[in-house]
Amino acid sequence: MSFRSQHISTRTKTGAVIALLFVLSLVFLAYFMIHSNRQQQAYRNYSQKQVIEAKQAIADIWEKHLYWVIYDFSTWDEMVEYAADPSALHHNQVEAFLDSLPPWYEIDGAWVFNLSGDLVYENKQLCAEDLHPSYFSAMLQEHLHEANLMQYYKVVEDTLVLIQGATIHHTEDTDREGEPQGYMFFAKCWSGEPIDLLEAMTGSEIAAVTAEQGRAQYEHEERTMQVAFSGKDGEDAAFLLFQKRVDFADMLQEKSRSILIILLSFTIIAFFALLAALQQWVNKPLQLVARTIKNNSKEHIPELKNASKEFAMIGELTETFIQQKEDLKEQKEKAEEANRLKTAFLANVSHEIRTPMTGVMGFSELLISDENLSREEQKEYLDVIYANGQFLLLLIDDLIDLAKIDSGNMTIKKEKFDVHQLMLELFANYSKSELAKKKDLKMVLDADPQHSDPIITTDRLRLQQILSNLLSNAIKFTQSGQVTLGYRLSDDDASIHFFVSDTGPGIAKEDHEKIFERFAQLDQGKNERKQQGTGLGLAICKETAKLLGGEIQIESALGRGTTFIIILPKNLQFVND
């Protein structure tokens, strides 16, 4: 806008400029209020989404952890007997296991009922102390009788409680198809660590309330967000209320009048002075801030640090925020992975140890208590005890080897030996395998026709360990056909390729990497059980092959069998050689 000075006085022009700025300020204020309301709603929607995602992340960890513990403990022959007669002397082991639940598995309440609904065991602490056994009523047990597994939430003394129930079954009834033999309930209080973590992740104060309390407070408190949890009837039975500690959108709206006064005064006094400097001192740095926040990138932060003091501070804070966000994401992934490995370790190792121990203890008790056993029966029982003891030793050896590999203490010995002689020994041992004979599997030795007696330098024991593990797996997973053990020397005579092939069900391509992970066991299908084992064997084979300077490859497809190939140098080289 331009004015001719001969027609309009300075006072008029000044008034016009002030009036114009006033009108523009009113327009800006109107836009600011509308924009603030939109921002407030967007901020609230984002906060609600953040709260739900944080709650779901924590809930997944605790629910899955509690699920695997109750699933494992409720399929146990000793637990079936304990529910039927808890006073028996040989059930001290079961009570010891149950008593170890709070410290080892972070469970705050455990209850065991027999089929008649009578309480036979109770162990509770913290908020679970307010859960009376009568709460698990006959109606609830009847519902559990039909569902086998159930989960729901409840508020007890201002604390959210996760409750999971399971019917008790024999060890072999892992699919829970048979009749229940009792009922088990576990409780986990959402207090301490999970609530502290949620508060830190969402920047909120958290309180647990019943459904009625949650609806009433939510209607009268706009800054409160709520997340519902299902009760035993499937309806919302409990709420976690999240009260934001600092609500920037509300603060901005409350101070809008003060901002208007400051804005008008500042505009009249400083409009012309700031106009020239606006582009260089404000507009450009603001664009850099916007790009940095929008792209979540550190690319423009050096330019911000070279701007004015305020934008330099914003650049440092933004850089710190981005770094903290990346660190938090990394720590979250590490925590989730650590929890997954811990859960997998506990679920696999505890089950694999308890199964043979049950056999050892059971048949040992029979040998002690029954004096009328024939020598054939005694030998049969001793064979079972010996077989289970061997399995326990193998499991312990796997765990020890894994610990040695992780700590870098695995000993590798360099020695020369005849490969063909080793292959003959392995072939002779596994040809006599009871399991191979039972399945009528054909065992084949496929030696390199170009090299009858190759000599290599490596650790014979570790190589034998790898091949033995692969042969055992091949026999275990192959129902019919043949298992082949063989070797070939490379064309340049620098390496040797060992292979173990089978005509088993094969492994899908997407699972080729997964089978070498620790505790990994592939699902063999609905009607097939998982094979016995902890899932450590192939992981140990892979790490051992690396220590020998080689690698393991796999060639397999569903329905076409599997071939594992171990590629080793003919001469083992140490780092200090």
Place of tokens 């039975």: 237
Structural domains of the chain, with CATH: 45-248 (no CATH), 339-407 (1.10.287.130), 415-569 (3.30.565.10)
**More confident position, 207 or 546:** 546
What's the pLDDT tens digit per position in 466-475?
A: 998 899 889 9
What's the pLDDT tens digit per position in 228-282?
A: 888 777 777 788 777 765 554 455 555 555 666 666 665 666 566 545 555 556 6
Report d(CA 189, CA 339) in Å as an integer.
Answer: 18
Contact criterion met (CB below 8 Å) for 493 and 570: yes
Reduce the DSSP state of residue 561 to 3 states and report it.
coil
The region of weakest confidence among 132-141, 187-196, 459-468, 522-531 is: 522-531
Question: How crowded is residue 192: how many other Cβ atoms within 10 Å of its Cβ?
Answer: 11
Buried b (16+ CB within 10 A) or exposed e, 213-241: bbeebeeeeeebbbbbbebbeeebbbbbb
Residue 3 has pLDDT above 70, yes or no: no
Report d(CA 360, CA 90) in Å as an integer.
Answer: 14
Place of tokens 């088993």: 504
Query: Tokens standing for 356?
Result: 């043979």
H or E stretch at 283: none
Residue 213 has pLDDT above 70, yes or no: yes
Residues forming a β-bridge with 187 = 109, 163
**More confident position, 101 or 391:** 101
pLDDT at site 11: 44
Contact criterion met (CB below 8 Å) for 232 and 150: yes
Query: Tokens standing for 308?
Result: 């004015």
**More confident position, 374 or 387:** 374
pLDDT at site 523: 58
pLDDT at site 575: 47
What's the pLDDT tens digit per position in 477-492?
A: 899 999 999 999 988 8
Angle at the Cα of 454 (from 451 to 459), degrees rounded to 5? 150
- Calculate mean pLDDT across residues 74-84: 87
Reduce the DSSP state of residue 459 to 3 states and report it.
coil
What's the pLDDT tens digit per position in 491-547?
A: 888 889 999 999 999 988 888 888 887 766 665 544 344 555 556 788 888 988 998
Query: Tokens standing for 459?
Result: 């650790």
Please indicate, yes or no, whether the overall pTM of this predicted structure exceeds 0.75: no
pLDDT at site 351: 63
27's CB contacts (< 8 A; 6+ apart) are none
- Calculate mean pLDDT across residues 66-85: 86
- Name the pairing type of β-strands 455-458 and 183-190: unpaired
pLDDT at site 552: 93
What's the pLDDT tens digit per position in 296-353?
A: 777 777 776 676 666 677 777 777 877 888 888 888 887 787 677 667 666 666 666 6
Reduce the DSSP state of residue 191 to 3 states and report it.
coil
The region of weakest confidence among 163-167, 353-357, 397-401 is: 353-357
Residue 551 has pLDDT above 90, yes or no: yes
pLDDT at site 104: 80
Contact criterion met (CB below 8 Å) for 536 and 399: yes
Q: What percentage of the chain exceeds 70 in pLDDT?
A: 76
The region of weakest confidence among 26-35, 198-207, 557-566 is: 26-35
**More confident position, 329 or 7:** 329
For residue 301, the number of C-alpha atoms closer than 13 Å in the C-beta half-sphere is 18
pLDDT at site 20: 65
